[in-house]
Amino acid sequence: MSEMTARHISPKVTVSVVYVVAMFMTIMDTTIVNVALPTISRELSVPLDRVDGVSIGFLVSLAVFIPASGWLGDRFGTKRVFLAALAIFTLASALCGLAQSFEELVAFRILQGAGGGMLTPTGMAMLYRTYQPAERIRVSRILAVPTGLAPALGPVVGGILVTVASWQWVFYVNVPIGVAGFAFGALFLPEHREAGAGRFDLPGFLLAGAGLGTLMFALSEGPYRGWTSPLIVSLGLAGIVLLTGLVWTERRTPQPLVRLRLFADRLFASTTAIMFTGMMAFLGSLYLMALFLQDGLGLSALNAGLSTFPEALGVMAGAQIAGRAYPRIGPRRMLTVGMFGVAAVTALLITVGPGTSLWQVRALMLLLGLSWAQALVPLQAAAFANITPAATGAASTLFSTGRQLGTAVGVAILTTVASAVGLTQEATGRAVAPHLAAYRAGLLTASVIALIAAGIAQLVDDHAAAATMRSPAPSRRHAAAAAHDAGQM
């Protein structure tokens, strides 16, 4: 397309499109791959207790590279870093599909995680720099599409692809999406650099990457290997020590890679904490419900995915409701109501059993999505209200880290609770049957975590988020039209 055509496309449209595409791919990737793990185990001759390395390698790599994304975008330009990350993610997806061995597949998943780790924070920084605070509610409604749709769509698409094609297609599906997003972004994305990026904080990167990576591995593997396993205990303690060292080092570094001082802003700190606990409850319960429906009630992966999919519809519909209500109600009350709603629905999910209609399950999942949207939209609208454009890259890194860790911690806690109760029990004649009480205990735990998030919401100050609750300033075109109309009067 010509340069003139490119200039006619608003940067807001461009940034929104490429970010939604990238975020959709990275979020869906985790859930779509999980569905294919049994098939990968069988076709690559890998024991089931080892095949989760495909997911663990991706998550650990993601955690390692997220901390560097803010500095890289500020130093080399958000467009350049975003497109490089998207290219790495897309190429790695193709290589995963071409892998001939389990070791190759894990290596390419680590490469894919490196791209994914830089995509979300860099894209978020672009988005929040493009939209002024009064327009952040529009950003939140945009973000609800990939955030709500991708996790629920993954099991459905994964089940279909594995059934009608092969496991390789759960990776190949990213390629055309990534290529289209890259081409569009290369043509139309605006570039942005921060003059004061400074030197790269190597100690901060090493401490953050090693600490988050080892902690993510321990959280992901702990429920299966056992929390008393020497490997899990040593890695978990190492992660905590490294992250403690990170806090000590970064507080004394003039230009830290991880700008922990941003948590001095109470609004940013409280919303990041709610995102962390909210993701624990919401995505943790989604993960547990998928296991409940498959292992507990005997549904196929595809049917389980179709039964949890209404959650995505609830998030997308709820985001529109929340977007209209936010300017009048404000973040604190909406976050409280949203997290109370998540707590109530996850508690109601314990009533699901062998005789429960799947339409009842779908109705509850729809309500879960509607409730989460009432928290998600104000979270994303208010979090960056007081963050300066220069600090947006660093803030997006911290916010993305909180969301990623919240997901891992939530899955680890709920799985551990369910395993502690016992996922199976002896039935008649020494037969082993699913123990539904274990899944219900996990769901009740998610409900309690959601209540904790609702409690943290009381720390949110609506006055601090006032800039995001005002109507956006009119565009130049609208202002000119108004001036013309006034002159005609």
CATH number of this structure's domain 261-489, picked from the four choices 3.40.50.620, 3.40.50.1370, 1.20.1250.20, 2.30.40.10: 1.20.1250.20
Query: Which residue would you say has higher pLDDT here, 76 or 448?
Result: 448
Q: Reduced to 3 states, what is the DSSP secondary structure of residue 396?
A: helix
C-alpha–C-alpha distance, residues 365 and 383, integer Å = 26
C-alpha–C-alpha distance, residues 421 and 441, integer Å = 8
So what's the pLDDT on residue 1?
44
State the burial class of residue 40 (Cβ atoms within 10 Å of its Cβ: 0-12, 13-18, 19+). buried
Q: Provide the mean pLDDT of the chain.
A: 84
Q: Where are the domains of the chain?
A: 1-200, 261-489
Q: What is the pLDDT of residues 373-430, one digit of tens each?
A: 999 989 988 888 888 888 888 888 898 888 888 888 888 888 888 888 877 766 665 5
* String of DSSP letters for 174-213: HHHHHHHHHHHHHHHPPP---TT--S--HHHHHHHHHHHH
- Select from 355, 328, 311, 353 the least CA-distant residue to 150: 311
Domains 1-200 and 261-489 share a fold: yes
End-to-end CA distance of the chain: 42
So what's the pLDDT on residue 471?
60
C-alpha–C-alpha distance, residues 301 and 290, integer Å = 8
Q: Which of 237-241, 289-293, 314-318, 442-446 has the lowest mean pLDDT?
A: 289-293
pTM equals 0.85
pLDDT band at 172 (very low <50, low <70, confident <90, very high): very high
Contact 90, 180 (CB under 8 A): no
CATH number of this structure's domain 1-200, picked from the four choices 3.40.50.970, 1.10.3720.10, 3.40.50.150, 1.20.1250.20: 1.20.1250.20
- Helix axes of 11-43 and 53-76: crossing angle, nearest 10 degrees: 160
pLDDT at 248 over 50: yes
